[in-house]
Amino acid sequence: MREDIPLGTSSETGQRLRLIALTLLGFLAGISAFFFGFYDTTVWEPMLLAGLVILLAFFVARPMVPTGAAAIAACGLFGLGFWALASTGWADANDLAVTEGARWILYGVFFMVLLYLLRDELSRRWLVGATVGGILVMAVYLLFRLLTDDQAVSDLFIANRLNSPLDYINGVATYLLAGFWPMVAVAERARNHFVRGAASLAAVQLLVLAVLTQSRGAVVAILASTLLVIAVVPGRVTRGCILLAIAVGVGVTIPALAQVVDLGDGALAVDDLRSVVTMGLLGGLITGVAVASGSWLASGAYRRSPDSAYTLRVISGAGLAVVCVLALGATIVVAGIKSDQIRDQVDSFTELEETDGGSRLTSGGGNRYDYWRVAVHQFKNDPLTGIGAGNYRQTYYQERKTSEDVQQAHSIELQALGELGLIGGLALVAFVGAVGFGFWVTARGGRGAKAADPALAIAAGGTFLVWLFHTSVDWMHLLPGLTAVAICSAATLLPPLRAIPGRRSLPAIVVVAALVALVSVPVLKQLRSLQLQNQAIEKLESDPREALAAARDSIRLEPSQRSYYFQAAALARLGLYEPARDSLLAAAENNPQDFVAWSLLGDLATRRGLDQAADLYYRRALRLNPRDPGLIRLAQDGSGSP
């Protein structure tokens, strides 16, 4: 058990309210895939404002601060947020820097609110359980749809890959895998044999569904997290046997999965998906029976004689070691036989080849290397401060070697370094390192009376590692709902808050209130600006004058590129060519690296019949985005017909 700092006598009602709040927060994070992970800024910025009010209320009622590793983690999150806001001083796109800074501060606020609510081991386990409960709801929904819905292929899949309910394939995989390690923890540590078996069955279903996404980043995440969970948390033999049983359960589905994964560009049939789900349930049942039976036999042996239990552990460990050696040997042999193919896939990765046909899971093709190359170049150009939060695209479109449009580096580490420099990188290291230390202490125990809690280490530590490893090769950290799952796990691994002495509480309250106000002002301005932009979109066709007024109000609040575009569109609909042109020129001046403004100027000039001016504008846009197929065509034609 972790040593918690006493917080005073708490009423039963207060404890219930805290558990209810933790349940709601954890469950909401777990089911956030149904709401696109709260990715929309107009969704999560109000959450940030509400969180700031709640945190300030908590702090006024009882001033408390994080201690030890929790303090370092909080400093890392808030450091990323405030440094991102500070980058508005050198970023080309200031509004994007505000968005990124506000998002990191949202994570910090959520983390602090959780620390206020997490007061004992019961609350920590309750939070983890609520979070995984939301994820299991998502898994049951998918299994039900796949088994019963004839429209499952068209509704749930894109390019033969599971895409629903998040509408982002790799994110779906991370949500599913975030529920895997809590199920392993229950299968290993639960007292009831039936519960252990049921958790093992659920773990198999989560893995099978994750395979249907064909996410290569998910493979990296599950393998890397497995290595660390096995290496760090004691109880490796039992855990290894459970993981082996789960692997056997997934193995039962391999023939059916191969029909889907190896399909390439072929047509996916709903019957093939039902076969996968059916075999997955069968494999899960086999795994569940095996784990429950093994648990029953082991507990019976221990009751009869501790020596018998020790002998059983030795035999199990030896058998597991043999399996691992055979698996490692087979891997080495296969790697030797297919060394040429492996080298080809490495070349495909660095040479940005497409994944043509066959299974994505064994292909090295794709564009990640190009994304990362640009981020490294940004860091080299501005090693201390970076290019500015959210401003990855400012140089990406000029430097890319592919025609794929992306907005971020697809790596939390490289994005932090490229956009926020060494200072941002150090803040990220502080957060991740503090959570890693908490994982170690929770798994193995700390100084003094702090005892290990392996079950919590497996469940929460494994979930955080899945998120971390996957977002290291993708952009899961930009999905607030999914990152909330990781922060729930992080908070349970770290020490509780400590009360501030009474004589220091008033200055601390003043400082926190000032920081809340400092953050709230740009967030409120941006949120209102986004609302005005949405009004401009809605009124653009029916009432251009009202749309124009909304766009101008948005520019006064926050001069973002979108606001200038909507202003120009409204002016163009009113037949005011020169003012519309001036609005787009103002957008180009506001962000000199924005090719979109010059493209729209070309479109506007073309509609006006000014082909020579349009050609100049398109060529200017092409210099900022030289690999855009549409701009290449327009520049080569000398004029376009947008």
Q: Give the C-alpha separation, 48 to 99, whole Å.
A: 11
- Name the band, by pLDDT with cuts 50, 70 and 90, for residue 446: confident
List the end-to-end C-alpha distance of the chain, in Å, as a whole number. 66
Write the DSSP assignment of 222-243 as a string of letters.
HHHHHHHHHHHSS-HHHHHHHH
Q: Give the C-alpha separation, 642 to 640, whole Å.
A: 6
- Name the band, by pLDDT with cuts 50, 70 and 90, for residue 337: low
pLDDT given at position 46: 97
User: Among candidates 384, 397, 387, which has minimal Cα distance to 419?
Assistant: 387
Residues facing 30 on adjacent strands:
none
Side-chain-side CA neighbours of residue 307 (13 Å): 0
Q: Specify the range with the lowest mean pLDDT, choosing from 81-90, 219-228, 265-274.
A: 265-274
Helix ranges (DSSP H) in 360-411? 368-381, 393-399
pLDDT given at position 642: 45
Mean pLDDT confidence for 328-345: 53
Q: Is 304 exposed, middle or buried (0-12, 13-18, 19+ CB in 10 A)?
A: exposed
Judged against a pLDDT cut of 70, whether residue 423 lies above it is answered with: yes
pLDDT single digits (tens) 497-523: 999 887 778 899 999 999 999 999 999
pLDDT given at position 502: 75
Q: Give the C-alpha separation, 269 to 334, whole Å.
A: 32
Residues facing 157 on adjacent strands:
162
Residue 613 CA: distances (Å) to CA of 23, 567, 625 = 60, 21, 18
The encoded tokens of residue 445 equal 């125990």
pTM equals: 0.90
pLDDT given at position 432: 98
CA angle 201, 202, 205 (to 5 degrees): 95
- Name the band, by pLDDT with cuts 50, 70 and 90, for residue 5: very low
Judged against a pLDDT cut of 80, whether residue 638 lies above it is answered with: no
- Name the band, by pLDDT with cuts 50, 70 and 90, for residue 8: very low
Q: Give the C-alpha separation, 492 to 371, whole Å.
A: 34
Mean pLDDT confidence for 447-465: 88
User: Average per-residue pLDDT in the chain?
Assistant: 89
Contact 578, 79 (CB under 8 A): no
Write the DSSP assignment of 31-62 as a string of letters.
TGGGGGGG-SHHHHHHHHHHHHHHHHHHHHHS
Judged against a pLDDT cut of 50, whether residue 346 lies above it is answered with: no
Mean pLDDT confidence for 108-128: 96
CATH of domain 506-637: 1.25.40.10
The encoded tokens of residue 586 equal 């103002």
Mean pLDDT confidence for 415-425: 98
Judged against a pLDDT cut of 80, whether residue 634 lies above it is answered with: yes
Write the DSSP assignment of 142-191 as a string of letters.
HHHHHHH-TTHHHHHEETTEE-TTTT-HHHHHHHHHHTHHHHHHHHHH-S
Residues facing 162 on adjacent strands:
157
pLDDT given at position 306: 62
Contact 635, 617 (CB under 8 A): no
CA dihedral 31, 33, 35, 40 (to 10 degrees): 130
pLDDT single digits (tens) 184-221: 999 999 999 999 999 999 999 999 999 999 999 999 99
Mean pLDDT confidence for 407-411: 95
Judged against a pLDDT cut of 80, whether residue 350 lies above it is answered with: no
Give the number of other Cβ atoms within 10 Å of residue 432's Cβ: 18
pLDDT given at position 351: 56
Side-chain-side CA neighbours of residue 492 (13 Å): 33
CB-based contacts of 466, cutoff 8 Å, min separation 6: 174, 177, 178, 180, 181, 221, 222, 225
pLDDT given at position 135: 98
pLDDT single digits (tens) 571-624: 999 999 999 999 999 999 999 999 999 999 999 999 999 999 999 999 999 999
Percent of the chain topping pLDDT 90: 78
Q: Specify the range with the lowest mean pLDDT, choosing from 256-270, 521-535, 558-572.
A: 256-270
pLDDT given at position 315: 62
Phi, psi angle pair for 364, to nearest 5°: -100, 0
Judged against a pLDDT cut of 50, whether residue 7 lies above it is answered with: no
Q: Specify the range with the lowest mean pLDDT, choosing from 31-35, 152-156, 282-286.
A: 152-156
Q: What are the residue ranges spanned by the domains of the chain? A: 12-499, 506-637
Q: Give the C-alpha separation, 73 to 428, whole Å.
A: 9
- Name the band, by pLDDT with cuts 50, 70 and 90, for residue 225: very high
pLDDT given at position 326: 57
Q: Give the C-alpha separation, 245 to 143, whole Å.
A: 21
Side-chain-side CA neighbours of residue 292 (13 Å): 16
Percent of the chain topping pLDDT 70: 86
Judged against a pLDDT cut of 60, whether residue 357 lies above it is answered with: no
Mean pLDDT confidence for 94-122: 96
